Amino acid sequence: MRNEKILVVDDDSAIRRLIWKSLQSTGILIYQSDSVEKTVDIMSRVKFDLFILDISLEHDNDGYHLAQLIREQDQVVPIIFLSGKKNEEDIINGLEVGADYYITKPFSPNLLKAQVVSTLDRGKIIKNHQITEKNNEIIEGDFRFDRSRYQLYKKDEPIKLSSKEIKLIQFFMENPDQVFSKEQIYHSVWGDGEMDANTIMVFINHLRNKMEDDPKDAQYIKTIWGLGYTFLPNGE
């Protein structure tokens, strides 16, 4: 059974009932509205996975306006227009204001059901892909590290780093606002072997030269005298 939420907006209660009957076996949670005003109120309280909109509500083109309002809040949530308007211009207008599909009335309940289910399934794939992409990134303050590309960005501007600099900044970004001794940094980034304090200092300075606005007055990678270093992603 599914548990997505969809909102059906149509001023014809018979149409809303037909849509509900065609989808109830899926387990989809179906909310209903008959006006723009009610829809905006419901949207303020509930996050939907799909919208089914009529074009003609209280006014002739209310559905177009409603689709624009939805798109202002969410660029990717699927919108299906279900309308009695069949002219090519109406269909083009519906797609141009942000609808993903346009189905004309009278409609096949089974066809609508298949379209809704397939659209929701694709939506899940997109969401899972977005989550995977998000998990591949570390975002801290002005900085973003793309794990899949081993690329650091500052305010979306790429910073070119060597392989050891990449490992060092990844360590810092995975552990922001924490103080680490030179020994901890060396064994976390360089691995086993005898620690070389000068090596750490050299690479810290390299990172500062590339990341800091003023490397001589570091705001992000700070020296904590007598203890080690800390990464402050929002600056001091």
Instruction: Give the domain CATH number at 180.
Output: 1.10.10.10
Q: Report the C-alpha gap between 146 and 138 in whole angstroms.
A: 7
In this prediction, residue 136 carries a pLDDT of 84
In this prediction, residue 191 carries a pLDDT of 72
Residues 128 and 14 reside in one and the same domain? yes
Q: Report the C-alpha gap between 219 and 42 in whole angstroms.
A: 45
Domain end: 134, 156, 180, which one?
Answer: 134
Residues 224 and 160 reside in one and the same domain? yes
Domain end: 118, 134, 150, which one?
Answer: 134
Residues 165 and 99 reside in one and the same domain? no
pLDDT at 134 over 80: no
Q: Which domain holds residue 109?
A: 5-134
For residue 38, is it within any domain?
A: yes
Residues 176 and 123 reside in one and the same domain? no
pLDDT for 177-218, tens place per residue? 999 999 899 888 887 666 777 888 889 999 999 999 999 999
pLDDT at 157 over 80: yes
> What SS3 string covers 23-91?
HHHHCCEEEEECCHHHHHHHHCCCCCCEEEECCCCCCCCHHHHHHHHHHHHCCCCCEEEEECCCCHHHH
Residues 128 and 156 reside in one and the same domain? no
Domain end: 95, 118, 134, which one?
Answer: 134
Contact present, 222 and 236 (Cβ < 8 Å): yes
pTM of the predicted model as reported, rounded to 2 decimal places: 0.57
Residues 154 and 180 reside in one and the same domain? yes
pLDDT for 161-178, tens place per residue? 888 889 899 999 999 999
Residues 122 and 141 reside in one and the same domain? no
Give me the number of domains the chain comprises.
2
Residues 107 and 161 reside in one and the same domain? no
Residues 128 and 178 reside in one and the same domain? no
pLDDT at 120 over 70: yes
For residue 236, is it within any domain?
A: no
Residues 117 and 143 reside in one and the same domain? no
> What SS3 string covers 164-205?
HHHHHHHHHHHCCCCEECHHHHHHHHCCCCCCCHHHHHHHHH
Residues 44 and 73 reside in one and the same domain? yes
For residue 122, is it within any domain?
A: yes
